[in-house]
Amino acid sequence: MNLFALLNFIMYINNPMKDDFKNSALGPGSLLVFTSEMDPFFWKSVVLLLKHDQQGSLGVVINKPELEIDYEGFAAGNGIDVLKGQVGAQRVFLDGGPVDGNRLFFVHENSDAGASSPFTHFDTAFPDCRERAVKLADSGAGFIRVAVGYAGWNPGRLESEIQGCAWRVLPFDGNLVFRTNFEDIFPQAGKKAGLHEDLIRYIIDPSSLQKEKGGVRQAFEYLDTIRPQPA
């Protein structure tokens, strides 16, 4: 067992709600909170699951802005500003995942209380994507996320990673997805998923472990501070 898995496991086995985080029904709208350091891309990521069926799973990371791609230039160049209802730091693309960086995903909240789903999504693989984006922009809807790329799993792979404690599963939360500042999404989701508050702050950046062993030593020192003390 690697170092981070050990830290995560200690907190996990002592959580009375641990089975809820594994047994929550997976499906469109599920939120996946990454609790491992094995994949640098997903470090401190929260993924909104868009698809989950016998063919596999697909979702987008909702808390990592893609600052290298100019959203304002995209909006002006295409004459489509789907984020016109948002301001400042919210007017950015999200780095949706490591797969297919040429594919854009549009996720917006359903304002209709009678809608079958709390959100709707479409992407550039849809033949009517441009028309839908224009309609979305014209509507002036305020709660929209636009992601570049996605995260994907083959059939059974996501379930296996969840059983291995790499992810914790939460039900859909519109406030987290659409109304929370990006830097606050992981801490809030981690708290809802039962991660210890100190562990949320401490979670190791895997790149630091590759640079020096000091990060490992500090992690063991931290482990001593959270290990239950004998009575």
Catalogue all structural domains in the chain, each as residue range(s) with its CATH number: 3-226 (3.40.1740.10)
- pLDDT at res. 48: 97
Per-residue model confidence as pLDDT tens digits over 159-197: 999 998 899 999 999 999 999 999 999 999 999 998 877
Residues in contact with 160: Cβ distance below 8 Å, sequence separation at least 6, in sequence order: none
Q: Indicate the pairing of strand 144-153 with strand 99-109.
A: antiparallel
Per-residue model confidence as pLDDT tens digits over 45-80: 999 999 999 999 999 999 999 988 889 988 888 888
Q: Tell me the torsion sign for CA atoms 31, 165, 104, 178.
A: positive
What's the rounded Cα separation, in Å, for the pair 190 and 213?
26
Burial of 39 (0-12, 13-18, 19+ CB in 10 A): middle
- pLDDT at res. 219: 42
- pLDDT at res. 4: 47
pTM: 0.78
